Amino acid sequence: MSAADFRNIAVIGAGTMGSGIAAQIANAGHDVLLLDLGAKSVGEKIPAENAIDRLLASDPPQLMSKKNVARITTGVIDDDFEKLADCDWIIEAVVERLDIKKALYRRLDAVIGANCIVSSNTSTIPIKLLVEDMPTAFRQRFAITHYFNPVRYMRLLELVRGSETNHDVIDRLADFNDRVLGKGVVRCGDTPGFLGNRVGVFALQVGIDETLKCNLAIEDADALFGRPMGIPKTGVFGLYDLIGIDLMADVVVSLGNILPADDAFHAVGAANPAIAAMIEAGFTGDKGKGGFYCLEGTRRMARQFAGFDGNDMPPLKPAKTQLPAAAIAADSAPTTEISEPSNDNSPKLTTPSTASLGKISIAARTAKAMGRSKCDPSLGRAAGDRFTMIRLEGKAMAIAFSAAFTRSRASDTALSGNPTTPK
């Protein structure tokens, strides 16, 4: 363990993002405390324990090995808050509401040590709003560490420094997330939505708005707003289900509240009564009873927004199996894959690809190193390949195929029992 590593880490909030962050920390060989609210009624599991169940059942798996779950200690915020006094890094991943986050920070400030770093997984709220009421010492040790879902597979981490955040705090977080958690750290300015959500959430809302205006079936919309647009094949509605419809609703409201009144986002960010009804009924996406897409037995169902003009929840219908012609054409078109070398002295490799994995060899779609003048540890991956998310051809699941690449350098060496060394 490096001297820069954190000894005691806690995650507060055991939802999709909080549990995913905790899982990746466990994947890297570190123990982590995962806290959330208490059980709703006597005899029920606490939310943090339910999060563990979801991690063990997740597909694709959030845990590299189910044994890693032993590194996650669950608890209740009110009952176990004093345990946070021993932590040197606490990640806040609670609901995207400014008032709730501020109240939590005030409680944290009363118990944490003088050197404890606190970071928020907020996707939209600027630091200047999060810590505007906090003492200077707290603001100096506070940052935003915004991970993307699913945490294990999405390489991007937005790291945001506030105007008073100590530079060594940012450097330490950047080093640990890069070296240990396998993240590609992008340092962002303290603006609403930062980089990813400032563009991405707006794009998703435009997709929903255009779907309703054009009276499209959501399967058609997702097919058209997927590969033909150069974005994940989930499309808009499938991505909403993956992230969590309730979380996305909070993000949209949060972003709308902090953007200027003349921002273009407001034209597509209004509340949708049908989506509100879905959330109220527990249809919050993959983590709930389903969302825009559901399974009834073995049948895939889809919400019927086309022609729906009421304020209730849109009905389900069997999902289409035939995609629009434009989406089929995009799925069949040749693409170009670029291999990003891990060494600046190694050039990028650009290779043609086809739409079907069955038509191209494994060797042809594996990153290669060219003209390497320096040698880095292989870490059990293809030479020259970065820890990155690779979009593969056709109907392949990119996240499943790239799972082996999304791991930390530390876990590939120290934890493997067979560390690689540079030659």
The predicted-structure confidence for 163-191, as pLDDT tens digits, reads as follows: 999 999 999 999 999 999 999 999 998 98
Q: What is the DSSP string of 170-224?
A: HHHHHHHHHHTT--EEEEE-S-TTTTHHHHHHHHHHHHHHHHHHTT--HHHHHHH
Band (pLDDT 50/70/90 cuts) for residue 416 is very low
The encoded tokens of residue 174 equal: 């950047």
**Alpha-helical regions (H) of 214-324:** 218-224, 235-243, 245-258, 273-280
* Eight-state DSSP code of residue 234: T
Q: CA 141 to CA 328: how far, in whole Å?
A: 50
How confident is the model over 247-251, as a mean pLDDT?
A: 89
More confident residue, 288 or 106: 106
Is the pLDDT assigned to residue 404 strictly greater than 60? Answer: no
What is the fold of 9-188? Answer: Rossmann fold (3.40.50)
Is the pLDDT assigned to residue 82 strictly greater than 60? Answer: yes
The encoded tokens of residue 371 equal: 């003209």
The enclosing H or E element of 150 equals none
How confident is the model over 92-116, as a mean pLDDT?
A: 96
Single out the residue of 419, 5, 310 nearest to residue 176, CA to CA: 5
- Residue 381 contacts residue 404 (beta carbons within 8 Å): yes
Q: Is the peptide bond before 150 cis (omega within 30 degrees of 0)?
A: yes
CA distances from 224 to 238, 332, 357 (A): 12, 14, 21
Residue spans of the domains in the chain: they are: 9-188, 196-327, 335-413
Position 124 scores a pLDDT of 85
The enclosing H or E element of 141 equals none
Range of weakest confidence among 128-132, 157-161, 321-325, 357-361: 357-361
* Eight-state DSSP code of residue 353: E
- Residue 221 contacts residue 271 (beta carbons within 8 Å): no
More confident residue, 229 or 384: 229
Q: CA 260 to CA 416: how far, in whole Å?
A: 50
Q: Tell me the per-residue pLDDT of 336-375, one tens digit each, with 9 for 90 and over.
A: 444 444 445 444 444 444 333 333 333 333 333 333 333 3
Buried b (16+ CB within 10 A) or exposed e, 138-163: bbbbbbbbbbbbbbbbbbebbbbbbe
Place of tokens 């979801």: 54
More confident residue, 25 or 270: 25
- 274 contacts: CB under 8 Å, gap ≥ 6: 305, 308, 310, 311, 312, 313, 314
- Pairing mode, strands 32-36 and 72-76: parallel
- Residue 258 contacts residue 223 (beta carbons within 8 Å): no
pLDDT > 90 fraction of the chain, expressed in percent and rounded: 51
Is the pLDDT assigned to residue 46 strictly greater than 50? Answer: yes
How confident is the model over 126-140, as a mean pLDDT?
A: 96
pTM attached to this predicted model: 0.66
Is the pLDDT assigned to residue 389 strictly greater than 90? Answer: no
